[in-house]
Structure 1
Amino acid sequence: MKLTEIQDLIKFVARAGVTEVEIEQKDFKLTIKSEMPKGRGKKEEQVVQTIQVPAAMPQMVQAAPVAAAPAAALAPASPAAPAALAAPAAPAAEDTSNLIEIKSPMIGTFYRRPSPDKDVFAEVGDVIKPGDTVCVIEAMKLFNEIESEVQGKIVKVLVDDNSPVEYDQPLFLVDPS
Structure 2
Amino acid sequence: MDLKEIQNLIKFVSNSGVAEVKLETGDIKITIRTTLEGNTPDITYVQQAPMQQAVQQSAPVQQVAAPAAPSVPAVDENAKYVTIKSPMIGTFYRKPAPDKPTFVEVGSSIGKGDVLCVVEAMKLFNEIEAEITGKIVKILVDDMSPVEFDQPLFLVDPS
TM-score (norm 2): 0.55
Partner of 2:78, secondary structure, is helix
Aligned pairs, number: 101
Aligned mate of 1:100, from 73, 82, 86: 82
Q: Displacement of 1:129 after TM fit?
A: 0.7
**Which letter does structure 2 place at the counterpart of 1:141?**
K
* Gapped regions of structure 1 (runs ≥ 5): 1-43, 58-66, 70-88
- Superposed displacement of residue 52, structure 1: 4.2
Amino acid at match of 1:130: K
1:53 CA displacement? 8.2
Whether contact under 8 Å (1:110, 1:162) holds in the other structure is yes
Larger radius of gyration: 1
- Structure 1 distance, partners of 2:148, 2:87, is 8
In 2, Cα distance between the equivalents of 1:118 and 1:134? Answer: 14
- 1:50 positional shift: 10
CA contact (8 A) 1:150 1:176 kept: yes
Q: Which residue of 1 aligns with 2:144?
A: 162
Partner of 2:48: none
Looking at structure 1, the residues matched to 112 and 157 of structure 2 have their Cα atoms a distance apart, in angstroms, of 13
Q: Deviations over 1:121-165 (max 9, x none)?
A: 010000101100000000000100000001100000000000000
Distance (Å, rounded) in 2 between the aligned partners of 1:96 and 1:161: 22
Q: Tell me: CA distance 1:176–1:124, structure 2 relative to 1, closer, same or farther (3 Å).
A: same
Structure 2 CA distance for aligned equivalents of residues 121 and 50 of structure 1: 30
Structure 1 consecutive aligned stretches of length 4 or more whose deviation exceeds 3 Å: 48-54
CA distance in 1, matches of 2:147, 2:61: 8
Gaps of 5+ in 2: 1-51, 64-70
2:113 corresponds to which of 131, 134, 150 = 131
In structure 2, the residue corresponding to 1:137 is in which secondary structure? Answer: strand
Instruction: Please provide the CA RMSD for this pair.
Output: 3.1
2:101 aligns with 119
Greater fraction of residues in helix: 1
- TM-score scaled to structure 1, two decimals? 0.50
Is 1:176 the counterpart of 2:158? The answer is yes
After superposition, residues 54-133 of structure 1 pair within 5 angstroms as: 90=75, 93=76, 95-133=77-115
Question: Paired residue for 1:142?
Answer: 124
Cα 1:168/1:50, change in 2 over 3 Å? farther
Percent identical pairs in the alignment equals 62
